[in-house]
Amino acid sequence: MKTFLKLVLTMAVITSIYLIYFFSIGIPKTQARTYYNKAMEDISLKHKQDLEKQDLQKALSYWPEQYIQEAYDKLNIQ
């Protein structure tokens, strides 16, 4: 019985750590990458630059990655 309680406690701790990571880092980084990819697709298809900037701003609001910031800065220079 004691081993079973240790097993359940260990499982609960590991599950909690995973869920904290998933919701605090995993989802925001995935959203940022999705909006970045959408902006890059729009750039390659020569769509409106305002939509591309909006997508990059959304990406930065989810997770401020350097490569996203560089793409956004490059759009602002043009």
Listed by start position, the domains of the chain span: 2-77
Q: Confidence band (pLDDT; 50, 70, 90) for 39?
A: very high
- Please tell me the predicted confidence (pLDDT) of residue 11: 98
In the predicted structure, residue 46 carries a pLDDT above the cut 80? no
Distances (CA, A) of 58 to 17, 30, 36, 68, 76: 27, 12, 8, 10, 15
Contact 75, 52 (CB under 8 A): yes
User: What's the pTM value of the predicted model, to 2 decimals?
Assistant: 0.82
> What pLDDT shows up at residue 31?
97
| pLDDT of 42 | 84
For residue 44, what pLDDT is reported? 79
Residue 55: C-alpha distances to residues 19, 36, 52, 61, 68 (Å): 27, 7, 5, 10, 10
